Amino acid sequence: MSNRPIDRLVKLASKNICDGVREEPRLYFDRVTLDLTVAGANGINGDPRVFENGEPFPVRITKMIMSLGLDFATDGDSGQRYANLGPPIPQAVLAGIGTRIRRSDEYYMNNTRLAIPTWVNTVTTTPYTFGTSASSWTLDRPVALSVRDYLEVEVQALASAVNFDAIDDATVEAFTAVVSVTATGVGMQSGMPYFLGGEVEVSSSALAKINTSALQNTSAEPIWITDLSAQARFTSVDGQVAYHEADMRMFAIGIRQLQNGTRTKWLQGPTLPTPVARMPAALLGVTSGMSLVHVFPGDGIQLEPAQSIRIEAEVLAPLVEETMTTGPTDIWFGLAGFAMVT
């Protein structure tokens, strides 16, 4: 008898399908904006309803993902929005930021804002060489992808240019990148492995979609999708090959299943002032990536319809003001789990 975790999950999913229950991935995301140069500066996630279960069935939250947003700015000469990939704001500054979670009138479970690294209770680091350019998520529950079903994947760049060394004010350079997304699974009947994947070229905030045929179940049997992965690479900077690893925080991604299922977007963000349907790709690193992850013990936190969570953050150790190229900085938070569709 096999003891592989995936076998247990597939058996559980099979039982739920027989009982008329479907479970789909959900990842809610929002940001807390802080001035990292001010000790005691604090904030709360911007949209009070983003971590609210707005669906008519329960949602179980199993993990919290935390990432520092990139330093975005606008080049005065070209007017391009660019991202600073170099110093002065590395992910390490999360050590000086505290956070806490509030649900209704109680905290989980301490009301003290504790440093973000102390929340980490699982290993998610990718190989050093690709540490910022890849994210993966092993789903809590496999998703049934019926024959001819497909995943709709949207991708966009959050900037059109990049500055590789922000401190020295290096030349801002336009870029072209390729973002790849893959889905891994097993056949319901044969048990054989399946690997679906596609990629798309992006260089601006214009929305791009991966060809749906690349992520469609064209086999003769339904597939359990167990894992999602994304990777970004620069293909050129000013027409030259760029030997710089891409940063997943420069890209946003959206995913949903079409044909069967609820057709609801798996990644859901703020709705104010306008709905945000695509998530910073770094938060997809629930299993491996550059973000920090907290796994909720036991069965996690169950949100019934209309129940919600608020996330707060505070600057515990401020940065020296001279090292900052901008003022407010975004701290991105995600809550990952699955919806229990009845």
- Residue 247 tokens read as 């940063």
pLDDT attached to residue 304: 92
C-alpha atoms less than 13 angstroms from C-alpha of 27 in its C-beta half-sphere: 30
**Cβ contact 201:120 at 8 Å:** no
Residue 237 backbone dihedrals phi, psi, to 5 degrees: -135, 115
Two tokens, residue 197: 């994947």
Q: What is the pLDDT of residues 6-33, one digit of tens each?
A: 666 666 555 544 444 678 999 999 999 9
| Tokens at 150, concatenated | 């497909």
Return the pLDDT at 123.
84
pLDDT at residue 323 in the model: 59
- Provide the pLDDT for residue 19: 41
Strand, coil or helix: 139: strand
CA–CA distance, 36 with 321 (Å, rounded to integer): 8
333: left (phi over 0), alpha (psi -120 to 50) or beta: beta
Alpha helices in 33-156 (DSSP H): none
Q: Cβ distance 293 to 286 under 8 Å?
A: yes
Q: DSSP letter at 256?
A: E
**What tens digit of pLDDT does each residue of 70-108 get?**
888 877 777 788 888 765 567 788 999 999 999 877 898
* CA-wise closest residue to 44 among 331, 286, 241, 327: 331
Q: What gap in Å lies between CA 142 and CA 158, rounded to an integer?
A: 30
Per the CB < 8 A criterion, the answer to whether 317 and 33 are in contact is no
Nearest one of 140, 196, 132 to 124, comparing CA atoms: 132
**Predicted pLDDT at 10:** 63
Spell out, as residue ranges, where the chain has pLDDT lower than 50.
Answer: 1, 16-20
